[in-house]
Amino acid sequence: MLKLIRLELRKSKFTFLKGVLIADLAILVLMLLLAFTGMDDGEFGTYGDLFQGVSVFVKATYIIFASVLISKLVIDEYKNNTITVLFMYPVPRKMLMAAKLIIVFLFTFLSIWLSNIVISGILAGVGYFLPNVIQGALTQKLLLTHLITAGTDALYAAGIGLIPLYFGMRRKSVSATIVSAVLIVMLISSGFGNFRMGNLLGISVSLALAGVAIAYLSIRKIEHQDIS
């Protein structure tokens, strides 16, 4: 499986790391403007609010990123009919599809978790040198809680990021894949004040399990699926 994943990454010319850096830089600049220039009118008044804001932006960005990756690794293969050639390899179809979806899952999980930690760390560093902007103390307990929350958020989001596969595969459509991801992001980011739909454990777990189930069914059916 590891060899398949490496081959898939090499074949698709995995250039998403550059996209990750650009996205993280954009989120960092946005958060600096909102938190340290007063543009947010006090919405990020504490470190807890600041870290939650980073989580919302990072999660939304990389769930959409996951849909782009699904389009590139899976949907485009069907649209261009290269999947026919791929399935002629002496490797079970299930393993080929599983390798693609593992890449999407791991990319989403690692991007969200690491981006969350790095951006939050930089903002906390800026807050240290501008002590009167962000209220409250930056305690070890708060940092540990954020670290754990970032990990669980990344895990849920990696599962949620697989849901657009269902919509993309129905019509073999890249636009349907990405639009469905945008709608999912709008759903889990909606709310008021500090409340977000995505912060509800039941919603996050249900959507994540739905994404994993869609991936499992896609792998399970691939052996008997008509690719013509």
Burial class (CB in 10 A: 0-12, 13-18, 19+), 198: buried
The size of the chain, in residues, is 228
Average pLDDT of every residue of the chain: 84
Could you read off the pLDDT of 160-195 as tens digits, one per residue?
A: 999 999 988 887 888 899 999 999 988 888 766 666
List phi, psi (to 5°) of 191.
155, -160
Q: Is the predicted pLDDT of residue 81 greater than 70, yes or no?
A: yes
> Looking up tokens 């782009």, which residue turns up?
68
pTM for the full model?
0.86
**Radius of gyration, alpha carbons of the chain:** 19
Residue 159 neighbours by CB under 8 Å, 6+ apart = 105, 207, 208, 209, 210, 211, 212
Name the 3-class secondary structure at 123.
helix
